[in-house]
Structure 1
Amino acid sequence: MTVSIIGTGQSAYTRHPRAGTTTSGVISRAVRNALTEAGLTPADVDGFAVSSFTLGPDHAIDLAWRMGLKLTWLMQDTNGGASAGGMLQHAVRAIEAGDAKVIVLATGDLMEGQAFAELVANYNSATRDHLSPLPMNGPNALFAMLTTKQMETLGLTREDYGHIAIAQREWAGLNPDAVYRNALTMDEYLGAPVVATPLGRFDCVPPVTGADAVVLTADPGDGTPRANVLSVRASYNADQQAGDGLATGLRSIAGPAWNESGIGPEDVGLACVYDDYPSMVVAQLADLGVLPAEEDPSIFIKRRIATRELPVNTSGGQLSAGQAGASGGMHGLVEAARQLRGTAGLRQVHAQHAVVSGYGMVLYRYGACATMAVLERGE
């Protein structure tokens, strides 16, 4: 059985949500938009999964009730940037097992100032007890250290990271839903205020309010534009936070995922990787094998990413479109599905296969969760 994404939806990202905006409201809007695109109604849905940092005190069942969903399968994922891949993995298995026929996966958050500050300060007990008391602001300092280590290890420069941010901003210029669409120059990138050396303003994701959703079902076989899920894998606590952070959990699951999908990283025409920082784009592309081990990363960035020869984060990624809390990982899945279904508008590329990665849940030093999905354009 082939499981496919047949609809995508988004609740518009914004840095400044209107008064009265709620988390349940933005998620519900994304779900409605996804169902409309799929030609379905809430009555057709029998499976639902959600991930959100700010949905509380409500839970998945409360939101499902508010949206009028009657279900035989339900889950709630708490793993942030890796939640989309985790929910996708469970949803594919559920459809294959016959537990549900039509499943909607949704993510979203209200990230106005106070909500974001509380999330950063109380992300988990490690953050609350050991990081928040230090004179540092959220994960930026942690990833500044990781970026410095990556620069030293791989011989990268700030200009190399700048090429990634600039290329994604060029893609964002073609995406009417991206929060930041104005062209970005290398001088602007290098001259931006320092956040935590070597990270500048354009190296760090802007928090936004918004939501994303996808609709999954078994391949309808009726010519409906779709993105087929060839493989989805996940890795949690790959090194128990004992490594240097330069290798993500993707390294151990990439081989099995490529084998299951029947293609290799060289066949990928689109990569949507979790981009909270440019250094993590490099790390994930390397662990996925899209950045070949034998190739100089700096040359690869200039030759493939800067020129947009290899489409990477064609929505603009989180660095330009924004990070809507737990929707960070779903953002890439929605974009990949839109590209493979031919609904990406001016930024449309002609890829047959896409890889999507999720990364998240910073513990003491870096993300503990990683997911990857290999998708194929439906015939």
Structure 2
Amino acid sequence: MNRALNFNAGPAALPEWVLEEAKKTWMDFNHTGMSVMELSHRSKTYDDVHNEAITRLRNLLSIPDNYEVLLLQGGASLQFTMIPMNILTEGKVGAYVLTGSWSQKALKEAEKLGETTVLASSKDSNYTFIPEFDKNTIPENAAYVHITSNNTIYGTEWQDFPEGLTVPLVADMSSDILSRPLNVEQFDLIYAGAQKNLGPSGVTVVIIKKDLLERSSDNLPTMLNYNTHAKSNSLFNTPPTLGIYLLSLVLKWAENVGGVEAIAKINQQKAQLLYDVIDGSDGFYKGHAEKDSRSKMNVTFTLPTDELSKDFLNQAKEAGFVGLNGHRSVGGCRASIYNAVSLENVSQLAEFMKKFQQQVK
């Protein structure tokens, strides 16, 4: 079977090894006579799967013991609400850095629940860069500072994270978690939808400092209280068992290929291949992001005309490339090169881009 050259922005490519491993156990997991998705979430067999996923994530990201690892549902979009609901307490302000559509949506939800402020924004430039902000502008009564580490639509990414803050730092890492080394202790809360680098859609990872849990009021709706999930090891209700099993397999694959540092080196090579084509095209391909803000996960670019962009995408589709259309809100082209996208596939895309330019000339 020919596998697609998958550059989808999410749900995204999964490692082939993961799919093959899941296939082996599809009808009979660990001699139970059942698939993982048929197991009781209260069974010892599933409990091992659940805890293995959490342990692997802790090991790969070196998550300290004073952080809880939660496996939730609802995607990052639900976290836009849960974060202010749990930690934006009365008299406090939620401080946001706007770098794209997802940070805007996070802010919009917080505004419904409490007072907010925008520390910095690159909206006026159509989010072509990651803006800097002065730590001295953070309000004294700030509950947290919220950032989005990678912006899938615009192709920008924080190269370095804020340091020395006196308030909790919260980060949406849905599209670049596990793609590069990370000092978890810089953050008080990290959240990520799984469907880019961690597994299939349906699982959301939340890494939260234990002392931050103290802010969650007992009056919150049960399922929207972080303490509910922390106290029950994310087993208060039926979790997405198949998704968590596949998450565990993705994490095992990451271990097998050498961990986050090895993955980061390959990601750097992949991104460099495409940015070299863009930079060497004499303006035929124009990157959306400024060079010092470029994402290693989502390479966004346009061609000289909409007609050429359409022709490029049509020919790419015929050649077997999938998911290269830019987001509907900005147009153009986008190559999402998450961890599971191979260096070989990215190299093929780079060659296709070169040939297409030569063909037009």
Q: Rg: which structure is higher?
A: 2
State if a TM-score over 0.5 links the two structures.
Answer: no
More strand by share: 1
Q: Normalising to structure 1: TM-score of the pair?
A: 0.27
**Comparing both chains, which one has the higher relative contact order based on Cα–Cα distances under 8 Å and sequence gaps of 6 or more?**
1
